[in-house]
Amino acid sequence: MNTELIGIIVTFLITVLLAFPLGKYIAKVFKGEKTFTDFLNPLERFIFRFCGIDPNKEMNWKQHMIALLSINMVWFVYAFFVLIFQGSLFLNPDGNPSMTPDLAFNTDISFLVNCNLQHYSGETGITYLSQLIVITFLQFVTAATGIAAVVVLFRAFAGKTTDKLGNFFVFFTKTLTRILIPICIVIAGLLAFNGTPASFEGKDSIVTLQGDSVQVSRGPAAGMIAIKHLGTNGGGWFGANSTHPLENPNYFTNMVEVIAQVLIPIALIFAFGFFIKRRKLAYIIFGVMTVGMLTFLIPNLVSETSGNPAFTHMGIADNAAMEGKEVRLGVTASAYWQVVTTIISTGSVNSMHDSSMPMSGAMQLLGMMTNCFYGGVGVGILNYFVFLIIAVFISGLMVGRTPEFMGRKIEAREMKIASMIALLHPFIILVGTAISSYVLVHHPEASWAVKPSSWLNNPGNHGFSEMLYEYTSSAANNGSGFEGLGDNNVFWNISTGFVLILGRFLPIIGPVAIAGLLAAKKYTPEAAGTLKTDTVTFGIMTYAVIIIIAALAFFPALTLGPIAEFFNLR
């Protein structure tokens, strides 16, 4: 086996080995059991007292969601004003300008929803102050929001009939103090010692080997890059994200960053198992998600490593598709990252997705279209939960029993929510792409700042993929870009902004609502006729539901994009 392949296998194994104990630890933290981080208790008590939070006040699912939405609203307003005034504020050694309102709207929303679609470039579009108190701040709190939301779901299934599901602010605070900040300190250290900048000084000026004088941007980047991955945010310090040699200096930092982004999503699956004392269910979910990842990883890996058929037709030997890849990282590690960053809603890149092979592009799109194989911190399990409910419903009927999950019957109300959430994702992606296609075809010369006709750098199927990718990435709160798309203008800033909001909050509220409704229902103990949800058979069923729903809704769009390109290139 080649070294590069071993490299990614080892990376994955390390991730799982770290995630398992972390999951156990997370479960303990939220159960309030004794952990080695209990020395932080006084700090948390101080925070609660200072903010006027009564940590013992239990909330029902509605109160949880109201708390979540209100605090997000505050962050939105705060971040918007910092961004539009950043040029005149301090900590701006490079003299970068303030953002235009539409770009600030897009940037604000995009970081608020844990997406990090960046229509600006880190070096020139944002100041150190904004990087720290807007970007890095939001990267921490949005990750904590997602985890706090999924803990509500944990609570819903941990006990018998109840509507008391813990306190949102406690979950939120503990996520920051016990999980995100400690792990980030470790990761930031590893990155800083490998060459990632951590300085408040402005651009450095160096003379290259060619003798040119070059301005090199830097800044307090290491901490931000740590949370960017750990919180599955993905927004880079520099415009080129983790392809940038200062953001991701070598193979080791590449491993650290790719492990960091999968770590909490996998740990949360195990935490779920420990929390509700059903480890087998967690293993099955982990299994389904891992198979899901492999479903996308293997074609991606194969098409990247076999190279571009266009070269073969020209008679040029081309072993691997090196376009858009970093030589220091290699094709295999890039392919692994491409899939991981799309199935998980990170969206950071260590290679240019626009340059990957058509089949790889299709896999990256599918990763975001399913959006639940591991998925973003917290929200991954919430998305998976919606599919799980649909799978439980259909398979419950198939065995001749009113469907039930964890002893609670699934009825019309839960199905209504699950169907709506499952429908929402294709809705915002397809409608967004349809509108942009329509505008592009029928009004190419509209008198906008950037004419629709000059949006796309590539014609034909690839151009279509670029638009489809942009909306898919927004809807999945992923944030990676296919690039090649002129996206910093009013049309794209506003339209993706709305897709981002819709793609974030409804898919959190929906599953939490289902869990809350189920938790309040009568609990039926498991009997011999009950369909067990922790079996391989049920795992296969869930997998089929996820793949079929994604495939059915997106197949025509994928056909016109990457699939047509794939066949054209052959």
Of 73 and 420, CB closest to other proteins: 420
Question: CB 274 → other proteins: shortest distance, Å?
Answer: 24
Q: Which of 194, 306, 437, 458 binds other proteins (CB under 8 A)?
A: 437
Q: Which of 81, 193, 252, 438 binds other proteins (CB under 8 A)?
A: 438
Binding residues for other proteins restricted to 97-116, rule: CB under 8 A: none
Up-side HSE of residue 118: CA atoms within 13 Å toward CB?
24
* Closest C-alpha among 299, 317, 301 to residue 309: 317
Question: CB 518 → other proteins: shortest distance, Å?
Answer: 13
Region of 15-23, 24-32, 197-205, 428-436 interacting with other proteins (CB under 8 A): 428-436
Of 17 and 423, CB closest to other proteins: 423
Q: Which residue has the tokens 């193979």?
A: 251
Of 162 and 194, CB closest to other proteins: 162
173 CB-contact burial (10 Å; exposed 0-12 / middle 13-18 / buried 19+): buried
Question: CB 413 → other proteins: shortest distance, Å?
Answer: 8
Q: Which of 433, 474, 478, 489 binds other proteins (CB under 8 A)?
A: 433
Q: Hey, what long-range contacts does 60-63 have (CB within 8 A, 24 or more apart)?
A: 60/163, 60/164, 60/165, 60/516, 61/152, 61/156, 61/163, 61/165, 61/512, 61/513, 61/515, 61/516, 61/517, 61/519, 62/516, 63/168
Q: Is 435 in contact with 466 (CB distance < 8 Å)?
A: no
Helix ranges (DSSP H) in 32-100: 41-51, 61-85
Of 88 and 535, CB closest to other proteins: 535
Question: CB 376 → other proteins: shortest distance, Å?
Answer: 23
Q: DSSP letters along 472-539, please?
A: HHHHTT-------B---SHHHHHHHHHHHHHHHHHHHHHHHHHHHHHHTSPP----TTSPPSSSHHHH
Distances (CA, A) of 7 to 334, 336, 400: 11, 10, 47
Q: Site map for other proteins, 348-387, x if CB under 8 A?
A: ----------------------------------------
Question: CB 287 → other proteins: shortest distance, Å?
Answer: 15
440 binds other proteins (CB under 8 A): yes
Q: How far is CA 253 from the centre of its chain?
A: 20
Of 32 and 444, CB closest to other proteins: 444
Of 475 and 553, CB closest to other proteins: 553
568 binds other proteins (CB under 8 A): yes
CA distance 398 to 148: 34
Q: Site map for other proteins, 384-423, x if CB under 8 A?
A: ------x--xxxxxxxxxx----x--xxx-xxx-xxx-xx
Burial 336-356 (b: 16+ CB within 10 A, else e): bbbbbbbbbbbbbbbbbbbbb
522 binds other proteins (CB under 8 A): yes
Question: CB 460 → other proteins: shortest distance, Å?
Answer: 8
541 binds other proteins (CB under 8 A): yes
Distances (CA, A) of 102 to 27, 107, 319, 485, 514: 41, 9, 44, 17, 35
454 binds other proteins (CB under 8 A): no
Region of 52-60, 62-70, 285-293, 545-553 interacting with other proteins (CB under 8 A): 545-553
Of 364 and 533, CB closest to other proteins: 533
CA distance 371 to 393: 21
Q: Can you give the binding site for other proteins, defined by CB under 8 A?
A: 390, 393-402, 407, 410-412, 414-416, 418-420, 422-423, 426-427, 430-431, 433-435, 437-438, 440-442, 461, 464, 522-525, 527-532, 535, 537-538, 540-541, 544, 548-549, 551-553, 555-557, 559-560, 563-564, 567-568, 570
